[in-house]
Amino acid sequence: MKLLNKSSLIYVIVSIVIFLITSVLFYKLITFTINNENDEKLKVNNLRVFHLISKNHDVNNLPPIYEITELNKAPSFSMESYKDTLIYDDIENDIELFREYKKTYKLGSKTLQITTRQIKLETHDYFNSIGLSIFISFLLLIILILVLNRIIFKNIWFDFYYNLSQLKKISFSSTEDIILKDSNIKEFKDLKDISESMLNKLKQEYLSLKEFTENASHEIQTPLAIIQNNIEELLQDTTIDEQKIRNIQSIYFNINRLKKINKNLLLISKIENQQFKDVEPINVNHILNQILLDLNDLIHQKDIQLKCVFKDELIIKGSKTLIEILITNLLTNAIKHNNLNGFINIEINKNSLTIENSGIDLSNDQKKQIFKRFYKSSSNSSSVGLGLNIVDSICKSNNYKLEYFNENGKHKFIIHF
């Protein structure tokens, strides 16, 4: 739930509760006040009637508004009382609720009881009008709060959301710097400062780690060159016996592997550093044909049937070196893991390249790992296990979509450019 919605919801709930409580209180207060006022009026009217009588005016009864009755027996003390009573009103033709005030007066020897009454407004009438007015004002208040909340949110939280969207974009391998906005709200400023210092620290550590890997790979090149060249010189000696040659052969073979691993790791780090900036329009069809020409011997070696379908001319923008490596790696993979007398189908569409080859099916576990660094389908294979990882790196760094399918002895790689 978004902070805005959460806080709005709380506002609404609290408002409703307050609305209910205040409605009841208000109703109670209003009825209490009105009753008081009424009682006061009844008392005054009662007294007024008595005054008229005491000045010898002839006062007729006006039921149910006032009634004068003579009491035969005088009560021992002056009596007055309020009460609610139901009386049939012939004007309204209905039984109505009246408030009544009774008081006994002594006038000479006579004892008079004067009753004054007033019709009571029905309670639900009060309730309706009071409830409606309170409800409307609260509704307005809630709408106002929600709108205001939204406006305040947009303003106050703007920096926060901006920084959040910036933080989402973080990638240490990208060269783009993350710029966070300063805020005049202390909490947000703290958050920004902490995020920034954390980012800097992480980035520095990432960079130093990366630099180390690169430097290590670079520094390994020269010793490798010296070892390899020394072995090559050693092999020029025709007097060495066969057993020693076997040892040297093993050293030479493994130096070669080291060389390839190192070279490919350097390549991967360069791809991830986006160091291939020579972007130009590239005709994939042409490049593919060129590479196939180079790989022809390998394809023939395994008696592989090659079928190329170029449905369209695929021209993309990118680094020629990288595209060459991408296609070469996919094709050598398709050759290496093919069966004898197998097949390779290549298809170029308007925006995609598909390479399909026959080969042994992989288990689900293996399928997931196929693009992993140093993953090899068989342990006895002397390949380095970086070819498809490089393909993956190139696709990722250029935002190409890479798909892989494997079923019924067919392996299918599709790249959407």
Partner 1 sequence: MKVLVVEDEIELNKLIYNLLMKEKFMVNTVFNYKDAFRQLIDYNFDVIILDIGLPDGNGLNLLNDIKINHPDSSIIIISAKNSLDDKLAGLDKGADDYLTKPFHLSELISRIRAIIRRKNFEGKNIFQFNELKIDIQSNAVYINNIELKLTKKEFQLLLYFISNKNRMITKDAVAEHLWGDNIDFVDNYDFIYTHIRNLRKKLTEAGCNDYIKTIYGLGYKFG
List residues near partner 1 by CB under 8 A: 218, 221-222, 224-226, 228-230, 232-233, 235-236, 242, 245, 249, 252, 256-257, 259-260, 263-264, 266-267, 270, 275-276, 278, 294-295, 297-298, 300-301, 321, 324-325, 328-329, 332, 336, 381-384, 387
Question: Nearer Cβ to partner 1, position 241 or 365?
Answer: 241
- Name the minimum Å distance from CB 365 to partner 1: 23
User: CA-CA distance, 416 to 289, in Å (whole number)?
Assistant: 19
Shorter beta-carbon distance to partner 1: residue 82 or 253? 253
Smallest distance from partner 1 to CB 386, Å: 8
Find where tokens 């800097």 sit.
Answer: 200
Q: Report, in Å, the least distance between residue 345 CB and partner 1.
A: 21
Q: How far is the CB of 391 from partner 1 (least distance, A)?
A: 12
Q: Bridge partners of 81?
A: 102
Task: Give the CA distances from residue 366 to residues 268, 360, 363, 372, 403, in Å, rounded to whole numbers and listed in that order.
Answer: 22, 12, 5, 10, 15
Residue number, 8 or 383, with CB nearest to partner 1 = 383
Q: How far is the CB of 263 from partner 1 (least distance, A)?
A: 7
Identity of the residue, 43 or 270, whose beta carbon is nearer to partner 1 in the bound complex = 270
Specify the residue, 294 or 403, whose C-beta has the smaller distance to partner 1: 294
Cβ partners under 8 Å of residue 228, min gap 6: 252, 255, 256, 259
CB of 314 to partner 1, least distance (A): 21
Q: Are 203 and 172 in contact (CB under 8 A)?
A: yes
Residue 112 vs 346, nearer CB to partner 1: 346
Of 36 and 249, which CB lies nearer to partner 1 in the complex structure? 249
* Token pair of 57 as six digits: 């005016």
Nearer to partner 1, 61 or 274 (CB): 274
Instruction: Give the nearest distance from C-beta 307 to partner 1 in angstroms.
Output: 21
Amino acid identity at 97: L
Token pair recorded at residue 336: 């290496």
Which residue, 141 or 231, is less far from partner 1 as judged by CB?
231
Burial (CB count <10 Å: 0-12, 13-18, 19+), residue 273: middle
Q: Are 3 and 154 in contact (CB under 8 A)?
A: no
Cβ contacts of 96 within 8 Å, gap of 6 or more: 86, 87, 88, 89, 119, 120
Q: Which residue has the tokens 């160091």?
A: 275
For 373, the 3-state DSSP assignment is: coil
Determine the Cα–Cα distance for residues 209 and 219; give it in Å rounded to an integer. 15
* CB of residue 210 to partner 1, shortest distance in Å: 16
State the nearest-atom distance from the C-beta of 269 to partner 1, in Å. Answer: 11
Go through 67-91 and write b for each residue having 16 or more CB atoms within 10 A of its CB, e for each that does not. Answer: bbeeeeeeeeeeeeeeeeeeeeeee
